[in-house]
Chain A
């Protein structure tokens, strides 16, 4: 599920979610964000709680910016971060840069019947719809167990599982189209994993100061 939009930001961004490059982009953005947010220094007088929130905030901003504006969850995440930013004392935020990557307030509740994300998702969406209508017409789909699973996926998504997913994926509540939701979920999960990897890398690097600098260890 990869799509590379044109990247107009000075931050590293806009690459496919599964790549090593993506992980490093998150790491770099994270460091930038931490420095800018003041979390990367002991002299700021932040409480531990504040600092933890700052780190979390920087991590999410790094993720969204590295992923770019293609997926809806990414835009929704930036919107969420920006709105939570307004309650803080800090004048500028790195998420302001990330916000310029996107121009859609993605957390609106306005339902959209269109899948606006990457082409593979469009196909999945088309496939889902096809599966749903096919199941209505026939007792048993012509193709294999996969098609049954696809139909089952469509049915299940219509129930509570879709609700849970919507709450977990940023911007999920705005995704009326369940096939969009599925595609976004997949992309989001892959990206989250990269975020975790990047943070673990940073943690390990900081915990072992005697190691040669810069070389990421896996």
Chain B
């Protein structure tokens, strides 16, 4: 689609990418613009963010599994699951 030769578009796209990245990262780390802070810092924060999301998924998996192990077919939780799946 893109021939890769349009310099103007590449500026905009990079800009968009950087701002998306900034918008994505949690509030607390969004204090400076990418134009001021180093790109390295931005990417470092991205790495940290992904790592923290992984940890959250692990933690949530653990908690969910704990909940589910106490569920039996008659429990309200099971009914919730059944109705969510209808």
Question: Interface of A with B (CB < 8 Å)?
Answer: 1, 27-28, 31-32, 34-35, 39-43, 46, 48, 51-56, 59-60, 119-120, 122-131, 134, 143-150, 152-153, 155-157, 161, 164-165, 168-169, 182-183, 185-186, 188-190, 192-193, 195-196, 199-200, 202-203, 205-207, 209-210, 213-214
A-B contact pairs, 8 of them (CB 8 A): A32-B85, A46-B69, A48-B65, A122-B1, A124-B14, A156-B43, A165-B43, A205-B80
Interface of A is mostly: helix
Instruction: Please determine whether A189 and B10 come into contact, CB atoms closer than 8 angstroms.
Output: no
> In the bound complex, do residue A209 and residue B77 qualify as a contact, i.e. CB atoms below 8 Å apart?
yes
In the complex, what's the smallest C-beta–C-beta distance from B65 to chain A, in angstroms? 4
Are A40 and B18 in contact, CB atoms less than 8 angstroms apart? no
Interface range for B: 35 or more
Q: Cβ of B57 and Cβ of A56 under 8 Å apart? A: yes
Q: Nearest B residue to A154 by beta-carbon distance?
A: B39
Q: Count A/B pairs, Cβ under 8 Å.
A: 201
CB-defined contacts of A144 to chain B, threshold 8 Å: 35
B interface residues with partner A (beta carbon < 8 Å): 1-7, 9-11, 13-18, 20-21, 24, 33-36, 38-40, 42-44, 46-47, 49-51, 53-54, 56-58, 60-73, 75-81, 83-85
Given contacts A122-B1, A130-B10, contact A146 B68 (CB under 8 A): no
